[in-house]
Amino acid sequence: MSQELAYLLWSAVLAFVYMMAQATAFRFQTGLQAANSARDSEPEPSLMTGRATRALRNFQETYPVFIALTVVAVMAGRADALTYWGGLLWFWARVAYLPAYLIGLSPYRSWIWSVSAIGLVLMFIGILW
């Protein structure tokens, strides 16, 4: 398995971690009964629930791009050092992003996001070059 596919596989675990962080924060805020309801009237999110929700949404915005770039790089036989380093940067920056967001590390959270975006750009360049 290529390194790019290995990062894609582990990114599925990372996506689950982001989802569970948000779900756990929501359950701590509302309690199990409310969390297991139809959620027709949700309360305003607490600080932690809001952060976890925004971190998950941010992950979901870049995750499809990472998936597409990884699949294209591998399927087209274009995986190289740039796609490898791009995938590595994206993955590890996304690992660092969740705790940085949850504990409110500003402006470092934005810097971490920028590193992940650079990773996607490197992957794109690696595929085209």
Domain 3-128 architecture: Up-down Bundle (1.20)
Residue 76: φ, ψ to 5°: -85, 0
Q: Give the pLDDT confidence score for residue 35 in this predicted structure.
A: 67
pLDDT > 90? residue 9 = yes
Question: CA-CA distance, 57 to 18, in Å (whole number)?
Answer: 9
115/128 Cα distance (integer angstroms): 20
The residue extents of the domains of the chain are 3-128
Q: Is the pLDDT reported for residue 56 higher than 70?
A: yes
- The pTM assigned to this predicted structure is 0.91
- Helices marked H in 1-129 — which ranges? 3-30, 32-35, 47-75, 81-102, 108-128
Whole-Å CA distances, 41 to 6, 36, 38, 112: 40, 13, 8, 34
